[in-house]
């Protein structure tokens, strides 16, 4: 008659595990695998978020720079227009004054 090993064991290599021990061992391995997987996913997400923030930061910086350039250009255009109009008014006033002086024979009209 053959003598069997202790009831409820399975042979694995040279070691025998009871089903409860095997289940606990597999649960521990699964937990460790889940922890490593979560850590890897967190690192990958952190990397993606960091890259996105860098892209956004660059895009915001470019947008602000463009806005500043557009604003300076607009101010410059308005200033040139204003100064040109002012110069035209002063030229007309000077021409009127010169005309009055020449009409009166050199006397300054006061």
CB distance 101 to 107 below 8 Å: yes
pLDDT band at 106 (very low <50, low <70, confident <90, very high): low
Percent of the chain with pLDDT over 90: 65
Strand partners of residue 17: 10
- Give the pTM: 0.47
pLDDT 10s digits, 75-99: 999 999 999 999 999 999 999 988 8
pLDDT band at 100 (very low <50, low <70, confident <90, very high): confident
What's the maximum distance between 2 C-alpha atoms anywhere in the chain?
A: 150
Give the pairing type, strands 15-17 and 10-12.
antiparallel
CA dihedral 29, 33, 34, 35 (to 10 degrees): 100
- State residue 1's pLDDT score: 56
- State residue 91's pLDDT score: 95
Q: What is the mean pLDDT of the chain?
A: 85
Q: Is the pLDDT of residue 4 over 60?
A: no
Contacts of 35 (CB under 8 A, 6+ apart): none
């Amino acid at each position: 008659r053959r003598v069997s090993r202790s009831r409820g064991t399975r042979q694995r290599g040279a070691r025998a595990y009871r089903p409860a021990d095997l289940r606990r061992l597999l649960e521990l391995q699964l937990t460790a695998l889940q922890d490593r997987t979560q850590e890897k996913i967190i690192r990958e997400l952190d990397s993606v978020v960091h890259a996105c923030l860098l892209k956004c930061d660059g895009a915001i910086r470019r947008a602000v720079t463009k806005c500043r350039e557009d604003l300076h250009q607009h101010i410059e255009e308005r200033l040139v227009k204003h100064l040109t109009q002012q110069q035209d008014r002063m030229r007309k006033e000077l021409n009127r004054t010169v005309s009055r002086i020449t009409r009166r024979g050199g006397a300054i009209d006061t």
